[in-house]
Amino acid sequence: MAISTVSAENYLRDASGYSGEAEQVFVPDTTAEVRELVQICSAKGIPLTISGAGTGLTGARVPHGGYIVSLERFRKLEIEAGRARCGAGVLLRDLQAAAGRSRQFFGPNPTEDTACIGGIISTNAGGARSFHYGSVRRHILGLEVTFMDGRTVWLKRGDRVDFPITPIRLPATTKNSAGYYLQPDLEWVDLLAGSEGTLAIITEAELRLQPEPGAILSGIVFFSADANALDAIEAWRPLDELRLLEYIDVNSLRLLRPHYLEIPDAAQAALMIEQNLQSEEDPEVDAWTRRLSEHRAFEEESWFGFRASDRERFRTFRHTLAAMVTDMARRTGFSKFSTDLAVPVSRHRELHAYYRQRCQEVFPGKFTLFGHAGDANNHVNLLPATRQEANRCEELMYELAQHVVSLEGTVAAEHGIGKTKIELLKLMYSSDEIEAMKEVKRRLDPHWLLGRGNLFALA
Ligand SMILES: Cc1cc2nc3c(=O)[nH]c(=O)nc-3n(C[C@H](O)[C@H](O)[C@H](O)COP(=O)(O)OP(=O)(O)OC[C@H]3O[C@@H](n4cnc5c(N)ncnc54)[C@H](O)[C@@H]3O)c2cc1C
């Protein structure tokens, strides 16, 4: 085989800390090479795992044996009005930068912008702005994929899956990336988004771009009481053109404070917002003064701005938190204990109270709670220091997931199931619904070679 290979070292873990092993890593340059690799794997029964940028949080790109294929050389990037054509290996930040030069942007914006396009499609990633724009699936206009039978096809939005499927129930949440999207009149792009590298190899995508609004107001608002921040979330969620509504709890602020001395000392919670406006003179700008006062937020010490550099500063503030928590987990050597649970937005407050109570009982002070409050998708991060504590984390994560399912929520709002959350998928779907997913898997990958161990446990 003439396809380039590289050392496996950088492909055997992801940001969750989950690790594995592989025989070879192949880095094809063309779809013909992808087909050749698929044909060899199919003929010889070699498991094949697709690697994106490795920022995933569920071990999904990590293999246990077999070959790895990385699409990192698929870097085509063409921007037109309303759409971008990108290779699967293009990084999200490169897409956003190129789109920005034509005053456009890609709506859903997972905070980790070093993820690649193949990865964000395969996990149906969400992010802060999914609150307004939805998850990645909604923004896919077409996909070029290679199936395990060696066919490479271009699938455009509207092309329907050409075999029968059994539809499953979906949770009543605004985001979901748990399992295959088996819905009536299923379109190919909707099935492949969120399929976590188990059904086909994506080599190229056409994604929808949005025009930049006249102005964007962004800010970080600090509160002296958590309850005031929670009231503000409910009051602000329905605001017109609010495109981002993120929550940061007191423990998270404590972690951030050494890096951001300007965080008010008395702050007990913060909300990050972004709103699309007609212009910087839009009457909405003044309305924020009233809103802050209504919810007893710190008016003078909260941060607001209109410039792209302000948005980037606030994004970095929020991202630093996620990166710090990931890094702390990596340093302890335990997997990252982070939930990706979401409930219907009407249950957000109830879930928040439950999280605080259970985490405080089991891990007093050793947890953070932050994330996508607009979508009722805050992440609980548990920070164990010992093996014994890590075991308790596993139990608590399972318990939280059970509770969320009882509230008609999802066990994976945006990160997917991968290898680390298979038990949680079983909480959410019946064995018949999981069997319906396996039927699709068997049809497209009869020898169960692609992304082996993702979504379904190995027999
Ligand atoms: C600090 C931090 C913050 C994060 N914030 C967010 C957030 O706000 N929202 C969010 O949704 N996620 C977030 N994540 C998780 C992560 O960035 C996403 O899951 C992302 O979509 C993974 O992309 P990746 O390229 O790194 O994929 P990888 O981790 O490499 O792989 C993920 C899955 O995609 C599959 N895959 C990759 N490329 C292809 C392809 N070409 N064809 C088919 N399958 C493929 C892999 O097989 C695997 O199953 C965060 C992660 C970190 C570390």
What is the model's pTM?
0.95
Q: Is residue 244's pLDDT more than 90?
A: yes
pLDDT at residue 334 tops 80: no
Final residue before a domain boundary, out of 366, 383, 406: 406
Tell me, yes or no, whether 439 lies in a domain.
Answer: no
Distance in angstroms (rounded) separating the CA atoms of residues 69 and 266:
50
Residue nearest atom 44 in ligand 1 by C-alpha distance? 197
Identify the residue whose C-alpha is closest to ligand 1 atom 40: 118
Q: Is residue 336 over pLDDT 90?
A: no
pLDDT level of residue 139 (50, 70, 90 thresholds): very high
The bridge status of strand 337-338 relative to strand 242-249 is: unpaired
* Same domain flag for 113 and 31: no
Mutate-to-test residue for ligand 1 from 19, 27, 50, highest number of ligand atoms within 8 A of CB: 50
State how far the Cα of 203 lies from the Cα of 30, in Å rounded to an integer.
Answer: 9
Residue for token digits 């792009």? Answer: 189
Asked whether 115 lines ligand 1 (CB < 6 A), one says yes
- pLDDT score of 337 more than 90: no
What is the reported pLDDT for 423?
96
Query: 289 and 388: one domain?
Result: yes
Q: Which domain holds residue 271?
A: 215-406
Is there a single domain that holds both residue 304 and residue 207? no
Considering the domain boundaries, does residue 233 fall inside one? yes
**Shared domain check, 251 and 174:** no
* Final residue in a domain of this structure, among 70, 105, 127: 70
Atom 18 in ligand 1: residue holding the nearest Cα: 56
Q: Give dist(CA 336, CA 390) in Å, integer.
A: 10
CATH number, residue 31: 3.30.43.10
In a domain, 417, yes or no: no
Q: Which atom of ligand 1 lies nearest, measured to the CA of 123?
A: 21
56 CB less than 6 Å from ligand 1?
Answer: yes
**In this structure, which residue's CA is closest to atom 29 in ligand 1?**
56
The pLDDT assigned to 384 comes to: 87
Domain assignment present for residue 50? The answer is: yes
In contact, 126 and 110? CB cutoff 8 Å: yes
pLDDT value, residue 345: 97
376 lines ligand 1 (CB under 6 A): no
Cα 57 to ligand 1 centroid, rounded to whole Å: 7
Same domain, 278 and 388: yes
User: Residue 336 C-alpha to ligand 1 middle, in angstroms?
Assistant: 15
In short, whether 47's Cβ falls inside 6 Å of ligand 1 is no
Instruction: Indicate if the pLDDT at residue 84 is higher than 90.
Output: yes
Distance 264 CA to ligand 1 centre (A): 34
Report the pLDDT averaged over residues 129-158: 97
For the residues 218-233, what does the mean pLDDT come to? 98
Q: In which band, very low, low, confident or very high, does the pLDDT at 325 lie, cut at 50, 70 and 90? A: confident
Q: Residue 422 above 90 pLDDT?
A: yes
Structural domain count of the chain? 3
In this prediction, residue 238 carries a pLDDT of: 96
Confidence of residue 332 (pLDDT cuts 50, 70, 90): confident
Q: Is the pLDDT of residue 330 over 90?
A: no
Residue 440 counted as domain residue: no
How remote is the CA of residue 113 from the centroid of ligand 1, in Å? 10
- List of residues 6+ apart from 193 with CB closer than 8 A: 121, 122, 124, 136, 137, 140, 181
CA distances from 222 to 173, 254, 301, 305, 434 (A): 27, 13, 7, 15, 43
Q: Mean pLDDT throughout 254-279? A: 96
pLDDT tier for residue 326 given thresholds of 50, 70 and 90? confident
Helix, strand, coil content of the chain in percent (nearest 5): 35, 20, 40
Q: Is the CB of 377 under 6 A from ligand 1?
A: no
Domain match, 124 and 64 both: no
Q: Which of 415, 441, 445, 449 to mutate to test the pocket of ligand 1 (most atoms within 8 A of CB)?
A: 415
Judged against a pLDDT cut of 90, whether residue 254 lies above it is answered with: yes
In this prediction, residue 100 carries a pLDDT of 95
pLDDT grade for 327, boundaries at 50, 70 and 90: confident
Whole-angstrom distance, CA of residue 337 vs CA of residue 58: 10
Residue nearest to atom 36 of ligand 1 (CA): 119
Q: Both 236 and 351 in a single domain? A: yes
Choose which residue among 55, 113, 272, 417 to substitute to test ligand 1 binding: the one with the highest number of ligand atoms within 8 A of its C-beta. 55
Same domain assignment for residues 235 and 376: yes
Sheet holding 5-6, edge to edge: 5-6, 24-26, 67-70, 48-51
User: Does residue 351 line the site of ligand 1, with CB under 6 A?
Assistant: no
Query: What pLDDT does residue 428 have?
Result: 97
Pocket test for ligand 1, best of 61, 106, 177, 339 (most atoms within 8 A of CB): 61
Instruction: Report whether pLDDT(329) > 90.
Output: no
- What is the pLDDT averaged over residues 389-397? 90
The rounded mean pLDDT for the chain is 95
Place 286 in a pLDDT band, splitting at 50, 70 and 90. Answer: very high
Is any ligand 1 atom within 6 A of the Cβ of residue 109? no
> What atom in ligand 1 is closest to the CA of residue 88?
41
Model pLDDT, residue 161: 98
Residue 93 belongs to domain with CATH number: 3.30.465.10
Together in a domain, 226 and 292: yes
pLDDT band at 365 (very low <50, low <70, confident <90, very high): confident
- Same domain for 197 and 222? no
Between the alpha carbon of residue 75 and those of residues 30, 39, 72, 94, 340, the distances in Å are: 11, 23, 7, 10, 30
pLDDT at position 439 is: 98
Q: In terms of domains, do 289 and 386 share one?
A: yes
3-class SS of residue 378:
strand
Burial grade of 392 (CB within 10 A; 0-12, 13-18, 19 or more): middle
Checking if the pLDDT of 459 tops 80, the result is no
Cβ–ligand 1 distance for 323 under 6 Å, the answer yes
CB distance 340 to 412 below 8 Å: yes
Number of other CB atoms surrounding residue 422 within 10 Å:
17
Name the more confident of 109 and 32: 32
Phi, psi of 227 (to 5 degrees): -60, -35
Q: How confident is the model over 184-194, as pLDDT tens digits? A: 999 999 999 99
Q: How far is the CA of 354 from the centre of ligand 1 (A)?
A: 28
Beta strands 24-26; 67-70: pairing state: parallel
Q: What are phi and psi of 381, to 5 degrees?
A: -115, 120
Q: Of 79-88, 213-222, 310-319, where does mean pLDDT reach its minimum?
A: 310-319
Is pLDDT of 78 > 80? Answer: yes
Q: Is residue 456 part of a domain?
A: no
Please report, rounded to a whole number, the percentage of residues in the chain having pLDDT higher than 90.
89
**Residue 452 resides in a domain:** no
Residue 204 lies in a domain: yes
Query: How many CA atoms lie within 13 Å of 35's alpha carbon, on the beta-carbon side?
Result: 10
What is the structure's pLDDT at 242?
97
Q: What is the pLDDT of residue 243?
A: 96
Neighbours of 86 (CB within 10 A): 27
**What integer is the mean pLDDT of 281-291?**
94
Of 167, 186, 211, which marks where a domain is finished? 211
User: Do residues 169 and 276 share a domain?
Assistant: no
Which atom number of ligand 1 is nearest to the Cα of residue 415?
19
258-289 burial string, b = 16+ CB within 10 Å, else e? eeeeebbeebbbbbbbbbbbeeeebebbeebe
